[in-house]
A and B are shown apart, each in its own frame.
Chain A
């Protein structure tokens, strides 16, 4: 039964007044409900959320909150993440979380941060939004937040379109991709314009730290999140988060696609400090962009007998090559932290 807001409010207050019970070790391995509570990692985003199968954004948010730890307050722009995590009266978050509007995640975060500051509290604020909420409609709020030097980490989950309202193109949608508002046809081969170079705009704000990351490299995400939250001041993270539904691929391929985006050069993983590039994930052996494009429906129209299709494929290849040149992504031999080495596993898991 759905509870009313005031009932829930009472429950929260009651809970807060009760002493915490100490966690008893779980001995029954079939008691998954209790095991879940004793996992050796912080759970910021819990199961039961309503994301699609294989959702890259859900995974990215899980990884970000895990790495940031419990002393965090989240703000969230409207979008898939907001909707699938908080079907009222439930919430998948295990952190204080607030949603107001599509365009104002950064503004809310600025306010929360200012209030915490006034109280003398060091709790970290993380603002979150999709690419629509960040590249487009929430951009002025974000720019203001950066300019005012709020102590906030802004995380953009980049699934390259307005997914929650049915796959409309955004400033982040890559060139030539099909969306419901950039359909391929007689006039165009998918989106006419280019993916907005948001990182360069962020760089112009001269903030202490900004980076791009990808769900294909969880250890890299963890490192970047920890770095960002350890800095007092505005920081920014752009995480490439494939969307099986919106891009049109099998849900099992989320990581494969994310990895290919990096290995082709289409989604460069870089770090910026005060606007200057201070680190990149090198690409050991660049893969042709076709390997990435041909397994997604949103680029299906580029694989037909049509001279325009060939031209757009070549255009995307040239954009990838340009990224590789521009950011100096070409690796010099094998590097354990390059796009081939950074996901290497070993028996017993990561000890970090």
Chain B
């Protein structure tokens, strides 16, 4: 063969001898940020992580990620006010991911298919006592059991569940769901001793003698004292008591009209129960604002927003930014109340105060007034632990200064107030106990920084409407049937696909596809997480293009070392 004699030759791909990485002054690095949904979850759930598993088509693995943090997703998927959805980055593009519906779906699927909790081996470690079988106690017991400890859980009542069982209406949390979830948790090998009240049947000293640690999740069961300038109606019913009675025996008083004073779940749940039972006029007076786009999240009715919407639909009348100033009595008979507008404002001292505005008084004619302004702990028999305060004082890990083997969590702390906060406390306390007994690392109470929307690249996501849960029409709502339904498997798939995977790689291939320098290589052909992309710093010129085009914000540029 005759060969050309002019011109130059080069062997294919020999440019690899030249390391363009030396040109770089900034380098791309993978950075796993927290997702906002994770950052704000009181229980500590990482929705990004489990939705990722769902996107991969592995619902059971998704549930396992979820219950590594929260053992009761079927329950919290129904009752949690889901701050995750308020924080969700997707809300800045169209509508937030329906995280609670995904959580609920996974919880329900686990019950339906009897998925095994990721808890291995027999409990054989040191004995730990848990007092109170509400969400805080259950979570502590579960996480201690996961870590191999022998747990005994006590409760004053005959059944476990705390307020989930005794106070939250069945229409929001069917008891079959609660029962099924609790039974599966207790069956992991947690000894449950009902009808054992601390201070009545149990002494703290005895517990401390028999157990290495004591976790207190006793909730706040005593109604806070309520009066209007010292006056109370002659026949006083307080809100939580009425709700509990309704749940236990199915009865509530049915006056012609009632005003409920309070801005939390008790007030709203009771209002709906009384309305449905036949009370013609039900008013709720609250010092806070109402949920809505313009509401200040720090001063708003403390309920799940859709709970409020449903109450309005059902005819409950809300009076926001008001308080009761006077009870109108005719003899001993209640005929109405006088209410006045007020607002939380910053006083000269710098502290915020609620200030009532003269001249804004109005009268409501009602037959009955029910306070629902919150509860405090009942420390009978263990007063030494609280020293006369309304709640326990504890550090972020639940430790009490005066007692080094006692921890506390949930409503008993006074600064919590949700099921998920109680669950988070239980998990952290279990970690603290494990770190003391097994030198495990102290659990983190601070989360990874979360990724702001601006750091994502939304160009790579399509707008898509949020899935909507089926809701019973008002006329068909009863005292026993669950009002909201769940999503179908197909809907869950679509909803999960809407998630941006904030701060974590979704293996979209963008960096691999777009690097002009072939400096992103894959270690495996395919994967659905980001474990398989590597930067080849010998060639990366540090242009920053991959970081800019990563949809998830998983690539950051740093100064080259």
Contacts and interface: CB of A to CB of B under 8 A. Distances in A.
Contacts of A344: 460-462
Contacts of A49: 15, 20, 517
- Secondary structure call for the B interface: loop
Interface string B524-561: 01111000001010110111110111010000010000
Contacts, number: 184
A206 interface: no
Contacts of B528: 347-348
Contacts of A51: 516-517
A159 interface: no
5 contacts: A32-B538, A54-B545, A251-B544, A345-B460, A349-B526
A54 B543 contact: yes
Interface string A1-29: 00001001101100100000000001001
B462 A48 contact: no
Contacts of B548: 252-253, 255-256
Among A32, A33, A56, A58, chain B packs the most CB atoms within 10 A around the CB of: A32
B523 A35 contact: yes
Interface string A106-123: 000000000000000000
Contact of A8 (B9, B16, B513, B541): B9
Contact of A54 (B461, B506, B516): B516
Contact of B551 (A90, A218, A334, A345): A345
Among B55, B460, B518, chain A packs the most CB atoms within 10 A around the CB of: B518
Given A46-B518, A54-B544, A345-B510, A40 B11 contact: no
A90 B519 contact: no
Contact-size category for A: 35 or more
Interface in B82-102: none
A86 interface: yes
A345 B8 contact: no
B516 A9 contact: no
A178 B523 CA distance: 44
Given A47-B539, A53-B543, A87 B18 contact: yes
A186 interface: no
Interface in B168-200: none
B14 interface: yes
Interface string B487-517: 0000000000100010000111110111111
B10 A89 contact: yes
A252 B457 CA distance: 13
Among A29, A50, A51, A345, chain B packs the most CB atoms within 10 A around the CB of: A345
Question: What 7 A-B pairs are tightest by C-beta distance, nearest first?
Answer: A48-B15, A252-B544, A349-B509, A91-B10, A54-B543, A53-B543, A345-B508
Contact of A255 (B8, B11, B541, B545): B545
A331 to B, nearest CB: 13
B354 interface: no
A32 B521 contact: yes
B347 interface: no
A92 interface: yes
B18 A8 contact: no
Interface string A27-49: 00100110110011001011111
A311 interface: no
A48 B19 contact: yes
A6 B52 CA distance: 56
Nearest to A344: B462
A250 interface: yes
A218 B18 contact: no
Given A40-B526, A48-B539, A12 B15 contact: no
A205 interface: no
A59 interface: yes
A327 to B, nearest CB: 22
B357 interface: no
Nearest to A66: B513
Contacts of B501: 347
Given A43-B13, A343-B460, 4 more contacts: A32-B538, A48-B17, A348-B526, A348-B527
Contacts of A343: 459-460
A8 B10 contact: yes
Nearest to A31: B523
Nearest to B513: A218
A35 B534 contact: yes
A94 interface: yes
Contacts of B518: 36, 43, 45-47, 62
A233 interface: no
Contacts of A9: 3, 9
A213 B509 CA distance: 20
A85 interface: yes
Nearest to B6: A5
B121 interface: no
B12 interface: yes
Among B18, B462, B545, B557, chain A packs the most CB atoms within 10 A around the CB of: B545
B513 to A, nearest CB: 5
Nearest to A46: B13
B56 interface: yes
B463 interface: yes
Contacts of A63: 513
B557 to A, nearest CB: 8
A55 interface: yes
B522 interface: yes
Contacts of A85: 15
A259 B458 CA distance: 13
A76 to B, nearest CB: 13
Contacts of B7: 5
B547 A252 contact: yes
A26 B534 CA distance: 14
Contacts of A87: 15, 18
B322 to A, nearest CB: 44
Among A343, A348, A350, chain B packs the most CB atoms within 10 A around the CB of: A348
Nearest to B544: A252
B23 interface: yes
Contacts of A334: 462-463
A254 interface: yes
A348 B56 contact: yes
Given A35-B523, A54-B516, A250 B18 contact: no
Contacts of B20: 47-50
A39 B542 contact: no
